[in-house]
Homo-oligomer: A and B are copies of this chain.
């Protein structure tokens, strides 16, 4: 039974507490938030849950084995560092830290203290992304030619980061999980609007050694919410629309073959193949439940998480490069 403490009971914290409370491998023991009313809310929702207002107290509580951190990004590093140094296993919200140097430090402390360090890149644990991974790995898609994502809406969801750190971080985690290779170059354009001093929209392109190219379009000033990625393989192509209630993944049996047509100057022979379209059934579960379960599993069986500190570091590297 892993005894868990959660720091931060704002937007995401309640979801962590609820999932740890429901997992039979965990004892959801202590929640910490500087605002007393939030602590009370947490205790009303979960009988027997203790609370405190000081993160240092939680981190050094000898009755806590693992700490989950759901606080503003700027506090991730000091809190995670303190927890790891106190020998606690750490699950931290994405992005892991504000700088690659900080992430590198956390990795080293975790390894030195033999603690699990995991980043909550929730998307990686969704049924949709798992299915796409499977379709790539079993060769259904063929070579991945491009990943082209539009992730826009009206409104800012995080207040201490710009639109790239808030929204593009999801696509970078998905790409890191889906593709074996990592980007070798980045090109990004953003725009600050009105009296705002952070980027509110940005267009990022990531280049790989292979034929793959990735493009991420993020925008806090869009009239509608769009969460859609086109993933083009040379055998099949996918539309991943995360706002679709049940048909999130559409697999198109479409492709293209080029051959030279010597008879015509202006015309290459291009064969477009158009076949059936398929919407695979996806298991319905809350991705965060898998995150929590995987974190506990890695602690108990001394395993490396799929979204470990190294993965978190790679994402921060790319976010720094794009910013």
Contact of A156 among B74, B234, B253, B270 (CB under 8 A): B270
Cβ of A148: which chain B residues have Cβ within 8 Å of it? 201, 217, 219, 222
A163 within 8 A of B: no
**Segment with Cβ contacts to B, from A1-9, A93-101, A113-121, A275-283:** A275-283
Within 8 Å of chain B (Cβ to Cβ): is A150?
Answer: yes
Q: What size tier do the contact residues of chain A reach?
A: 35 or more
> Do the beta carbons of A277 and B279 come within 8 Å of each other?
yes
In whole angstroms, how far apart are the Cα atoms of A148 and B254 in the complex? Answer: 26
Instruction: Scan A282-323; emit 1 where CB is below 8 A from any B CB, else 0.
Output: 000000000000000000000000000000000000000000
Q: Which residues of B contact A22 (CB under 8 A)?
A: none
Residues of chain B with a CB closer than 8 A to A281's CB: 253, 274-277
Residue A44 interfacial (CB < 8 Å) = yes
Kindly list chain B residues whose C-beta atoms are within 8 Å of the C-beta of A232. 219, 221-223
Stretch at the interface among A55-63, A79-87, A192-200: A192-200
Lowest 8 A-B CB distances belong to which pairs?
Answer: A223-B237, A223-B252, A277-B279, A189-B205, A191-B213, A160-B266, A159-B266, A159-B267
Q: A148-B217, A187-B189 are in contact. List 16 more A-B contacts (CB 8 A).
A: A145-B191, A146-B221, A148-B222, A160-B266, A191-B211, A194-B234, A195-B259, A203-B205, A219-B230, A219-B232, A220-B256, A222-B237, A223-B232, A224-B239, A276-B281, A279-B279
